């Protein structure tokens, strides 16, 4: 075992009782006696490897943190969500539903990842962004700002989706493509290469935007 519950440090949270943890041995960057965050039960945080919940972070329900993952600041992981590998979740980020964050991925700021979404590789989701449904963000991709990625969408490679952009249905954004502003990409549309879609542009149906193409709203 690497942690135990702190006696007399429990709080009610969304109808559940969560309790603070304390390390009982050294591991990773955690020292014996370091206080951790809050969990509902031992099933929320593995007693193996170096995973840890820091600060005021909360993990509850059937959620699980394992491997070498870290959850800290005021982040929340709940439902049946899982954070594993070397993933980091912090800030005011929330991971819930059946979402998975793994690999070296990071979710932070006030971002939300939920449903059956998956964030992995070295992907980053941050700001006020939302990724949900069965969407996948992976590789070195970034989703941030107020962007929303949902449905069966895939964002990967070095692609970026940001601003107030929406990418949904079966769309794929990859390569070094960027979708931003108030742009919308949906249906089985693809944006890839060094392409940019921005403003209030819409790319939909079976359309493909690639190479160094630039699609601007109103054009």
Q: Take residue 215 and report the two structure tokens written for it.
A: 């699609």
Banded pLDDT at 219 (limits 50, 70, 90)? very low
The domain spans of the chain are 1-110, 128-219
Q: What is the largest CA-CA distance in the chain?
A: 64
State the number of CA atoms in the 13 A half-sphere of 83 facing the CB. 36
- The CATH classification number of 128-219 equals 2.160.10.10
Q: State residue 217's pLDDT score.
A: 84
Rounded Cα distance between 213 and 215, Å, is 7
pLDDT in tens, 177-208: 999 999 999 999 999 999 999 999 999 999 99
Rounded Cα distance between 161 and 186, Å, is 13
Cα–chain center distance at 72: 13
3-class state of residue 43 by DSSP: helix
pLDDT in tens, 48-77: 999 999 999 999 999 999 999 999 999 999
Rounded Cα distance between 135 and 210, Å, is 21
Mean pLDDT of 167-182: 98
pLDDT in tens, 117-137: 999 999 999 999 999 999 999
Q: Take residue 118 and report the two structure tokens written for it.
A: 């998956």
Q: Per-residue pLDDT for 33 more than 70?
A: yes
Rounded Cα distance between 181 and 128, Å, is 14
């Amino acid at each position: 075992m690497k942690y135990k519950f702190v006696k007399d440090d429990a709080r009610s949270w969304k109808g559940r009782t969560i309790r603070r943890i304390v390390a009982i041995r050294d591991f990773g960057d955690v020292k014996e006696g370091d206080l951790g965050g809050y969990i509902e039960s031992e099933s929320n945080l593995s007693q193996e490897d170096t995973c840890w919940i820091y600060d005021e972070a909360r993990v509850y329900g059937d959620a699980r943190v394992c491997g070498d993952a870290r959850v800290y600041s005021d982040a929340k992981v709940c439902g049946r969500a899982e954070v594993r590998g070397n993933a980091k979740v912090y800030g005011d980020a929330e991971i819930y539903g059946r979402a998975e964050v793994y690999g070296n991925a990071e979710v932070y700021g006030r971002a939300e990842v939920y449903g059956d979404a998956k964030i992995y590789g070295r992907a980053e989701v941050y700001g006020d962004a939302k990724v949900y449904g069965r969407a996948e963000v992976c590789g070195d991709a970034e989703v941030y700002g107020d962007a929303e990625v949902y449905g069966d969408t895939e964002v990967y490679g070095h692609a970026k989706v940001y601003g107030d952009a929406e990418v949904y249905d079966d769309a794929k954004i990859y390569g070094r493509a960027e979708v931003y502003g108030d742009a919308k990409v949906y249906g089985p549309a693809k944006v890839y290469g060094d392409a940019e879609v921005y403003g209030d542009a819409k790319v939909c149906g079976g359309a493909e935007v690639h190479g160094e193409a630039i699609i601007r709203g109103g054009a």
